Chains A and B, each alone.
Chain A
Amino acid sequence: MDLLEYQGKQLFAKHGVPVPDGRPATTVPEAVEAAEELDYPVVIKAQVQIGGRGKAGGIKLAKGRAEAQEHATAILGMDIRGFTVQQLYVERASEIDEEYYAAVVFDRSAKKPMAMLSRMGGMDVEEVAETDPEAMRMLHVDPLLGLQDFHGRRLAFESGIAQDVVRPVGAMLAKLYDLFVREDATLVEVNPLLVTKGREVVALDAKVTVDDNALFRHPDVAEMRDLSAEDLQERMAKERGLTYVKLDGNVGILGNGAGLVMSTLDVVAQAGGRPANFLDAGGGSKAEAITSAVEVILSDDKVNAVLFNIFGGITRCDEVARGLIEAFEQIKPDVPFVVRLDGTNDKEGRALLAEANLSNVHTEATMLGAAEKVVELAGAAA
């Protein structure tokens, strides 16, 4: 789960990472009130789950009430690379002397946390890594020991940051690591890490990703979920306990097991089709789960054909067939379905479908055959 900047900064403040004073706002009057409280100059910042806010005009300096009003009005509702701004953050402006970069990330290949520091902040990290790889210093941390003082010292000295801020930057790294562990984060990034004209060290931005699997022990963080960033289908699926990812094609997909569903998307694409979604109905799905999955898939207007690809292990094909029959009774879909049932109770499942004799349901024996058929039907319907 990705947090918005202001939510990340709430966690920063909780763990003692210095941040400029700021207030969230969801309306223009709220934003102006926040600006008045903080006193000018302030920065009005769009809160969206995507980078490049500044370039898109989503971050503006306001020196007085009129400007605060003007910028808040312009930014609220603005579209930034597909994300509509529904939340603002109003922050006391900082006087910038130097911009660094600090992060604690989870390095999957080393299977260890990694602390990072660079004297080149305020720009795209991947760009820095390419143009000046030496500027980014990285150290792995033993998760059983945690970040030690020497890690911070080494990073600070080796990255070549100003000598007078080595200590406070090291201290900030220690706090970021503490947050990373205690909040079950998989990413904590500060870009830029600011040295002000008064030589104070503050986190000017905050990017925090919290492990979804650990939200049960962080109810306060779980409440921060930004529902507006999820679309209708993804929300519906979550409420029904299904794993769904929206894509931009027209072939609806349902399968059991993440790997098999990913593979199904690929095979449909190879057959010349465009998948509309990823939907994993899970292991051991019962008929009701299948029925609600069909509901979710068909709520996407672009879908004009649906593929069921089931290899039953724990999942029983007769349960899947029952779910589909039930869905037809309840929803009466007007798009064609292609169904491939293999594995546990496949004969029973196919027999149920034959008996129900649903119009517009085609059964196929193989995964490849089913993919070709659904692409053909989706093409004909388009």
Chain B
Amino acid sequence: MSEPSMTLNNPGQTAMREQDLISSVQRGQHELFYELVQPYERRVYAAALAILRNEHDAEDAAQEAMLKAFANIRQFRAEARFSTWLIQITVNEALMRRRRERTVVMEGIDDRRDGEESEYAPRDFADWREIPSEALERKEVRQRLAEALATLDRKYREVFVLRDMEHLNIQETAEALGITVAAVKTRLLRARLMLRDLLAAGWEQGWFSRLPFEKGNKPW
């Protein structure tokens, strides 16, 4: 998967610039740290939000994660991807905060209610076509997608966000969440299929009615 916003122009040059920034910050040019992490602030926030589900808590956790990354920047080694390292710190911070909250008990009960051992069967088989990414220019569409994501149970949402939105690979996702690779794959499959069904249902309600699709064609 690609590194969003970091590979849009010249990936090699961007990677070199990032390595230069890391070295400079490690040598004491602390004022460059924000420049180093700025390309990843969206991903850091999204990772925290996926776990904490509360914007205020997510922002605080994201900031705290950045500060921890700053404090430990000397321990970062070039063989790792900086973005992955940063996301890992964020996930740890968010998980630690969630463990401190009682809501984890309630979510645990919810998760057991639909265990992942039972297979998920798609429910909607409407005609389909590819949705152009330009659809995301509409705030309403982004909002609908975010709402659908928010309805997923925690364990599916976390895996989906780290894998499909943060672009960690399967192994990295497993390590970040402390689960097995097989569990990541199972949860990811279920998350994707559930989102597909949720959004297909939305189509029936006219979410995408103003998109330039041909009459009679459904995107899902």
Tell me if chain B binds chain A.
Answer: no
